[in-house]
Amino acid sequence: MTTGGSGDAPIWSLPEQYLKTLAEHGSVKAYPKNAVIVNEGDQSDSLYVIVSGKVKIYLADEEGKEVLLNTQGPGEYFGEIILDEGPRSASVMTLEPSKFSIVSKTQFQQFLATHPEAALELIRSLIQKVRSLTKSVGNLALLDVYGRVARSLLDMAEMDGETKTIRNKVSRQDLAKVVGASREMVSRVMKDLEERGMIQTQENGSVIIKEQLTQ
């Protein structure tokens, strides 16, 4: 859902040369696991380039119910909406110890002014985000839970030789947040997919996608 295959650059990132230059404009800061970096509704004043670690981007209501929008890792960034001076549109939390290069709004504007070609890449990245979020909204509106789980698994999978595989362990709780259903419902759907031979969960938690699921 967030990155390309092994060795590929994240689909929502700037080319490496621009990202490195942008990161050099900021100051590096480390955060522990489960640290909330930004809260939805906060004033936008910084962009964060992920140097190491992993974060989740999510929405939460007053009762603590979450909708997971995305996860991001090294070579990606978040907070580019500082350009419109509006509030943060989502919250971000670390999933593991992480380091970020924190770039202020002024530094970001200076970077774009001195690297106008990077602005086009930024626009392309934003378009990818809009397309992905539009697709997610469409899935939530038009597919049942079974279909949303299947679609999310396919989106998370990467080609591994001739096999589509989700290399990281698939958390039922996180998947439930993505598809907007209960953990129990997602667990039942996953169990049914396994019993029907559409997916195969490995001992390390990775998931092999069988051809039947892609049809």
* CATH number of the domain encompassing residue 100: 2.60.120.10
* Predicted local distance difference test score (pLDDT) of residue 50: 94
Higher-confidence residue of 173 and 138: namely 173
Q: Which domain holds residue 36?
A: 16-140
What pLDDT band is residue 139 in, cutting at 50, 70 and 90? low
Q: Are residues 195 and 131 in the same domain?
A: no
Assigned domain for 3 exists? no
Q: Are residues 195 and 122 in the same domain?
A: no
Q: What is the CATH number of the domain that holds 209?
A: 1.10.10.10
Look over the chain and give the mean of its residue pLDDT values, rounded to a whole number: 83
The last residue of a domain, from among 83, 110, 140: 140
Q: Are residues 53 and 131 in the same domain?
A: yes
Q: Are residues 121 and 29 in the same domain?
A: yes
- CA–CA separation, 212 and 215 (whole Å): 5
> Residue 140 pLDDT more than 50?
yes
* Predicted local distance difference test score (pLDDT) of residue 214: 67
Q: Are residues 152 and 63 in the same domain?
A: no
The last residue of a domain, from among 74, 106, 140: 140
Q: Are residues 23 and 126 in the same domain?
A: yes
Q: Are residues 44 and 91 in the same domain?
A: yes
Q: Are residues 126 and 31 in the same domain?
A: yes
What pLDDT band is residue 215 in, cutting at 50, 70 and 90? low
Contact 79, 38 (CB under 8 A): yes
User: pLDDT digit string (tens) for 30-87?
Assistant: 999 999 999 998 887 899 999 999 999 998 877 777 888 888 899 888 988 777 777 8
What pLDDT band is residue 5 in, cutting at 50, 70 and 90? very low
> Residue 201 pLDDT more than 80?
yes
Higher-confidence residue of 7 and 184: namely 184
Mean pLDDT of 107-122: 87
* Predicted local distance difference test score (pLDDT) of residue 31: 97
What pLDDT band is residue 10 in, cutting at 50, 70 and 90? very low
The last residue of a domain, from among 114, 140, 166: 140
Q: Are residues 136 and 152 in the same domain?
A: no
Assigned domain for 10 exists? no
CA torsion angle 94 99 102 108 (round to 10):
-100
> Residue 149 pLDDT more than 80?
yes
The strands making up 163-166's β-sheet, listed across from edge to edge, are 158-160, 163-166, 207-209, 199-201
* Predicted local distance difference test score (pLDDT) of residue 35: 96
pTM tops 0.75 = no
Q: Are residues 63 and 91 in the same domain?
A: yes
**How does DSSP assign 43-90, residue by residue?**
BP-EEEEEEES-EEEEEE-TT--EEEEEEE-TT-EE-GGGGGT-B-SS
Q: Are residues 84 and 29 in the same domain?
A: yes
Assigned domain for 2 exists? no
User: pLDDT digit string (tens) for 72-88?
Assistant: 899 888 988 777 777 88
Q: How many CB atoms lie within 10 A of CB 116?
A: 8
